[in-house]
Amino acid sequence: MRGTHRRSLRIRVAAGWVLAGAALLAAAGAEAQGRGGDYTLSYSSGLNVSPAYEGWERDPDGRRYFLFGYMNHNWEEEIVAPVGADNAIEPGGPDQGQPTRFLPRRNRFIFRVPVPDGFGETDEMVWTLTTNGVTEKAYATLRLDYFVDSMVRASEQGAIGAGTTNPVIRSNTGPTLTIEGAAERQVRVGQPLTLVARATDDGLPESRRRGASRRRSDRMNPWRPPYRGTVSSETGLRVSWFVYRGAGDVTVDPPQVSVWEDTRPGAHSPWAPLWVTPEAPPDNGWVSSVTFHEPGVYTLRCRASDGALDVDRDILVTVVP
């Protein structure tokens, strides 16, 4: 009987800890649900987008810019929020060049806004974004601890470890990118639009996985899924098109390398485990075919990245029936 009592006591104590842990998780989930969903779980759709202030930078001419990105809490849903009361940046807005189409998950350093003349460290620029019934704000300031340089960008993108630096990575310059043809196009629904992007890079940083992937796969446990504790991105030159503004369905062929942090194993993404940067085309020309399935005005953005630094170019496409 004594042994039975001790086992019963242990079971009750263990059950108490489980219930206490469940209560803590429920409380955290309830707090997240008040912001649009339980962020301790993964959702394909239904949650909101959180605007993000990444920091501020200064260009070689001394001009200052606020840098923004966002976190779409969904893994699949691309949310559209037209510029206006639900998607506004002030002062100077509501339109400050922000996206109106939000790709899944984390998207860093997506756009920048010139710092208004006379802005001081205590002034704020505010991006207000309402999606799926939830309103959130990002507050941009010129505080010194928000200053961003190339090393901060590389670290935030996952190209180098936190606090890592060396002469090679410090000498890295971002890719160059040009788009052949006019900056404004017109096509019909269902009519393929051929786009040619030409990009070059200084070769830094080199691909971290090319050549090492086979050695790693040979010793990998096939029964254990790849895991990463922090953001880590493959490096090497890559080029991708994506919809920056516009509401309709758009198909890009061939499928583009993800520009959002898709960390799922097997994803066509630099943030996915074991993904290796493809070799660049012989002429450094990436050819893509884009088909629009609904009329409207679209901004297509092309991004060339070496994994640490990015460069973007946009074209405006009017799609008629």
* Cβ neighbours around 54 below 10 Å, total: 22
pLDDT in tens, the chain (321 residues): 444 433 333 333 333 443 344 443 344 444 455 455 666 788 999 999 999 999 999 999 999 999 999 999 999 999 999 999 999 999 999 999 999 999 999 999 999 999 999 999 999 999 999 999 999 999 999 999 999 999 999 999 988 876 677 788 889 999 999 999 999 999 999 999 999 999 999 999 988 776 554 445 445 565 665 555 567 899 999 999 999 999 999 999 999 999 999 999 999 999 999 999 999 999 999 999 999 999 999 999 999 999 999 999 999 999 999
276 burial type by CB count under 10 A (0-12 exposed, 13-18 middle, 19+ buried): middle
Q: What is the pLDDT of residues 158-183, one digit of tens each?
A: 888 766 777 888 899 999 999 999 99
Residue among 316, 285, 313 nearest 174 (CA): 313
What pLDDT sits at residue 222?
58
Q: Tell me the two tokens of residue 259.
A: 């520009």
How many Å separate Cα 108 from the centre of its chain?
Answer: 5
> By the 8 A CB rule, do 35 and 136 touch?
yes
Which residues is 66 bridged to in the sheet? 56, 113
Contacts 24+ apart (CB under 8 A), 259-268: 259/103, 259/107, 259/303, 259/305, 260/72, 260/103, 260/104, 260/105, 260/106, 260/107, 261/105, 261/106, 261/107, 261/108, 261/158, 261/231, 262/104, 262/105, 263/228, 263/231, 265/225, 265/226
> By the 8 A CB rule, do 194 and 289 touch?
yes
* Cβ neighbours around 152 below 10 Å, total: 16
Distance of alpha carbon 248 from alpha carbon 154, whole angstroms: 33
Q: Distances from the Cα of 186 to the Cαs of 84, 97, 121, 320, in angstroms?
A: 25, 21, 44, 7
- Tell me the three state secondary structure of residue 36: coil
How many Å separate Cα 88 from the centre of its chain?
Answer: 20
What pLDDT sits at residue 227?
56
